[in-house]
Amino acid sequence: MITVAELKAKSERKFRDFLRFKIESFFSEKAACHSEAISKSLEFFPLEIRSDKGKSSDNLLAREKDFIPLIQNSKQKKGKGYSLVFEQKRTRNNGTQSQLSRILFETEEDFLSFIEKKSETKRLTQALTVLFKNFCSSANNSDFLGAWAYANLSYLTDFYDEKDFWENICLCVKWFLENPLSNLYIREIPLGVHTKFIENNKTLILSLLICLKNDGQQEVKVSDFEKYCGLKEKPPFVRLRSLDKTIALKLADLSISEVSLPLEDFEHFDNPCILNNVQKIFIIENEMVYLTFPPVEKALCIWGHGFSVTSLKNCIWLKNHEVFYFGDLDEHGFLILSDFRKYFPNTKSFCMDKKTLDSFDSFRAEGKSLPGESIPENLTGEEKALFAELRADKGRNRLEQERISMEYLKERLEI
């Protein structure tokens, strides 16, 4: 015999189906929408919950004891909730007995009261009403929006602290649709919502934009929000420090140890006042290794920051110097080196060789492998051999550059 708790759990699992029924009914009623995305509306109630209802041949006392809580919590006793339907059945051992034949919810009110989901359903209806009012001027949009609602039930039923939340979401989405190439920072958007509202709801806004633009086949990450919406992105910065005390980085009359510049400015950094005596430039992947890299005469170092190192491709002035790249000894490190050499073919690797790998063999660990079987093309013969060696040993295919000691770096710099 099913318990009240088990009945509630089974009923709650029907809630998602109920929400989809509500969406279907809403669009059918509001927009006469009969597309493939939103199928023909079906009646949802009465909703029967299939379960173990016991048998009329069961022990009478045991069956009566099981029935008591189920009956006490039913609509027959409480005025709302699930209804119990009994039928008379003749049995060999117990004569004619009442047997529970069905457990069902007769109305939406009964169902939602029992599973305590009235608030979520109300929020869904309110959200759909606002979205329909703002975006469903055409049957096409109704189709797209209905399909979106099916796939995003949690957005529609969640509680939001902000007043007029869905109106503000629509305000933002409409602005982005009308201004696809504004080239503004989010903070500069002339809307009556605060900047953090857009920042906090990027995922929701983006999903609605993709839906309404019918860009469903396009995968857009939240990290690409600004790019997709035609907004100005935060400028990438390049950090560099002098490795030679005689080569000063200056701000007016002040000598400073490190500089951080917007990439756009760094592309035109060929300032003879600073670079006149610079011969070598080390691009270093790891931030802490960059900050602690040993002194080198007539040299600067740049924090490469992983794959963003290829953003330096327009810094043509780098070709006037001897450039070294120092990354992790793993497949990804060699891929970055190969990609960087597409723009600066004369780049040399630093400490990304067999000697270094063998010297710190005990620190090798498991790292991520690149997909496929190809080897990055812009590597030397020795580098390709080392790449193949790392790939062949999946459990020990990475040596992080932080594992390489300062003493070893100093020795290699003196060679």
pLDDT tens for each residue of 264-299: 889 988 766 667 789 999 999 999 999 999 999 999
- Residue 35: band (very low, low, confident or very high) from pLDDT cuts 50, 70, 90: very low
- Residue 53: band (very low, low, confident or very high) from pLDDT cuts 50, 70, 90: low
In tens, the pLDDT along 298-314 reads: 999 999 987 688 899 99
Give residue 62's pLDDT.
Answer: 55
Whole-Å CA distances, 328 to 331, 351, 394, 396, 406 = 9, 9, 15, 13, 15
Q: Is the pLDDT of residue 262 over 60?
A: yes
Q: Is the pLDDT of residue 391 over 90?
A: yes
Comparing 74-78, 112-116, 117-121, 134-138, the range with the smallest average pLDDT is 134-138
- Residue 131: band (very low, low, confident or very high) from pLDDT cuts 50, 70, 90: very high
Whole-Å CA distances, 209 to 33, 43, 133, 184, 197 = 21, 32, 16, 18, 16
Q: Is the pLDDT of residue 319 over 80?
A: yes
- Please report where in the chains the tokens 């005689």 appear, as a residue: 246
Burial of 43 (0-12, 13-18, 19+ CB in 10 A): exposed
CA angle 148, 150, 151 (to 5 degrees): 65
Q: Is the pLDDT of residue 60 over 60?
A: no
Give residue 364's pLDDT.
Answer: 97
Sign of CA pseudo-dihedral 372, 373, 378, 383 = positive
Give residue 32's pLDDT.
Answer: 56
- Nearest 10 degrees: Cα torsion 298, 303, 308, 314: -30
- Please report where in the chains the tokens 């890299």 appear, as a residue: 293
What is the distance, to the nearest Å, from the Cα of residue 349 to the centroid of all Cα atoms in its chain? Answer: 34
Residue 212 or residue 54, greater confidence: 212
What mean pLDDT do residues 316-335 have? 96
Q: Is the pLDDT of residue 52 over 90?
A: no
In tens, the pLDDT along 230-251 reads: 999 988 899 999 999 888 787 6
Residue 374 or residue 53, greater confidence: 374
CA angle 389, 394, 398 (to 5 degrees): 70
CA distance 106 to 355: 78
With a pLDDT cut of 70, the percent of the chain lying above it is 90
123 CB-near residues (< 8 Å, 6+ apart):
156, 157, 158, 159
Give residue 40's pLDDT.
Answer: 42
In tens, the pLDDT along 140-183 reads: 788 899 999 999 999 999 999 999 999 999 999 999 999 999 99
With a pLDDT cut of 90, the percent of the chain lying above it is 71
- Residue 29: band (very low, low, confident or very high) from pLDDT cuts 50, 70, 90: confident
Q: Is the pLDDT of residue 86 over 90?
A: no
Q: Is the pLDDT of residue 335 over 70?
A: yes
Residue 307 or residue 389, greater confidence: 389
Give residue 42's pLDDT.
Answer: 52
CA distance 389 to 396: 10
Pairing of strands 299-303, 280-284: parallel
pTM of the model: 0.74
Give residue 305's pLDDT.
Answer: 87
Residue 210 or residue 67, greater confidence: 210
Helical (H) or strand (E) element with 302: strand 299-303
Give residue 272's pLDDT.
Answer: 63
Give residue 250's pLDDT.
Answer: 72
Of 12, 93, 28, 84, residue with least CA distance to 57: 93
In tens, the pLDDT along 398-412 reads: 999 999 999 999 999
What mean pLDDT do residues 215-226 have? 86
- Residue 345: band (very low, low, confident or very high) from pLDDT cuts 50, 70, 90: very high
What mean pLDDT do residues 378-382 have? 96
Give residue 91's pLDDT.
Answer: 64
